[in-house]
């Protein structure tokens, strides 16, 4: 099934080929220097009504060395017969464009990444005709975001990293780092990358965490006219309706508890009661911020 997360995992290479340089480094390959990168049709359909389509196909022409193709496949789970399809893509693209092909699988969890590395063999008994070994970009070789400055320098790579690690236990903290790094963006840039990430996380358990972070960031730069501030002020205006404030407080409390749960941090009953009974949005926002990096539930209430 094609999902939003699936689409963004490979489309980011089409729209932002600068991601290829850190991606090559993650794969242990030398990045092509001063390369011309062109998106090609991913269609590998023959005259007969049998449709085959790679996710993204890029032609790379380095300033030095030979040109080659990169076929990028976003894979969210194991699929029976996928190895045969990948072998077909490589053979077809090699024959059609007369260029060597590098097959790259983008995976969000280690189990899928381990499977996607292959090898996928076409053999009869002890005779092997073809072996396909995809390169894999996954949680083990795509670095997590640990520095806010990286977000400003390489927003495409930072967004891609957040999507790849969206099933990690560190996902809430990674998203928190990304949100803090985005505070340096102008309105248009922030809106662009927020939409990329929100679509990319649509089918993941941390999508709601990111939506909360978008609102949370608005409180840092009042008067800057950022996307986050507009979202925050719009929510404040709507909150004037009767009962709206209570609903916002409940939502913030639930988000805080959900982050702690996803990060595997135990929450005692008295702590849970303290969070859910609080009605002050500023306090709840502070607790939510701390939940992204806390090592114990009690850390939420420790004054800095």
Closest CA to 265 of 304, 215, 217, 300: 300
Structure tokens at 269: 């009953």
pLDDT at 256: 84
H or E element, residue 203: none
Confidence of residue 127 (pLDDT cuts 50, 70, 90): confident
Express each pLDDT in 253-267 by its tens digit.
887 887 787 777 888
**106-110, 192-196, 212-216, 226-230: range with highest mean pLDDT:** 106-110
The candidate with the shortest Cα–Cα distance to 79, out of 111, 48, 51, 123, is 111
pLDDT (0 to 100) of residue 221: 38
Q: Which of 132, 131, 140, 80 is nearest to 106 (CA)?
A: 140
Which residues on adjacent β-strands are paired with residue 35? none
Mean pLDDT of 181-187: 78
* pLDDT tens-digit map of 142-155: 988 888 888 888 88
Cis peptide before 119 (omega within 30 of 0): yes
Bridge pairing between strands 135-137 and 101-107:
parallel
Residue 52: closest CA among 41, 60, 44: 44
Domain boundaries, the chain: 4-137, 148-301
């Amino acid at each position: 099934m094609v999902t939003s997360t699936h689409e963004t995992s490979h489309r980011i290479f089409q729209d932002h080929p600068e991601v290829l340089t850190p991606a090559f480094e993650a794969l242990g390959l030398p990045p092509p220097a001063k390369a011309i990168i062109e998106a090609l049709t991913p269609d590998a359909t023959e005259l007969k009504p049998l449709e085959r389509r790679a996710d993204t196909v890029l032609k790379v022409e380095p300033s030095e060395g030979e040109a080659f193709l990169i076929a990028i496949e976003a894979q969210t789970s194991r699929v029976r017969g996928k190895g045969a399809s990948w072998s077909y893509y490589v053979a077809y693209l090699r024959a059609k464009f007369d260029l060597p092909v590098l097959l790259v699988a983008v995976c969000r969890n280690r189990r899928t990444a381990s499977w996607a590395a292959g090898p996928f063999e076409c053999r009869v008994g002890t005779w092997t005709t073809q072996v396909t070994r995809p390169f894999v970009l996954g949680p083990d070789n795509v670095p997590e975001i640990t520095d806010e400055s990286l977000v400003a320098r390489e927003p495409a790579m930072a967004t891609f990293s957040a999507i790849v690690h969206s099933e990690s236990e560190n996902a809430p903290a990674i998203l928190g780092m990304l949100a803090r790094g985005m505070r340096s963006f102008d309105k248009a840039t922030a809106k662009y990358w927020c939409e990329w990430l929100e679509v990319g996380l649509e089918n993941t358990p941390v999508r709601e965490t990111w939506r909360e972070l978008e609102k949370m960031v608005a409180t840092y730069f009042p008067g800057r006219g950022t996307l986050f501030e507009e979202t925050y002020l719009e929510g404040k205006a709507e909150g004037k309706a009767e009962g709206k404030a209570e609903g916002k407080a409940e939502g913030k409390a639930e988000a805080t508890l959900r982050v702690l749960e996803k990060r595997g941090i135990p929450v005692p009953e008295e702590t849970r009661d303290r969070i859910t009974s609080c009605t002050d949005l500023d306090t709840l926002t502070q607790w939510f911020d701390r939940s992204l990096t806390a090592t114990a539930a009690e850390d939420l209430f420790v004054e800095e």
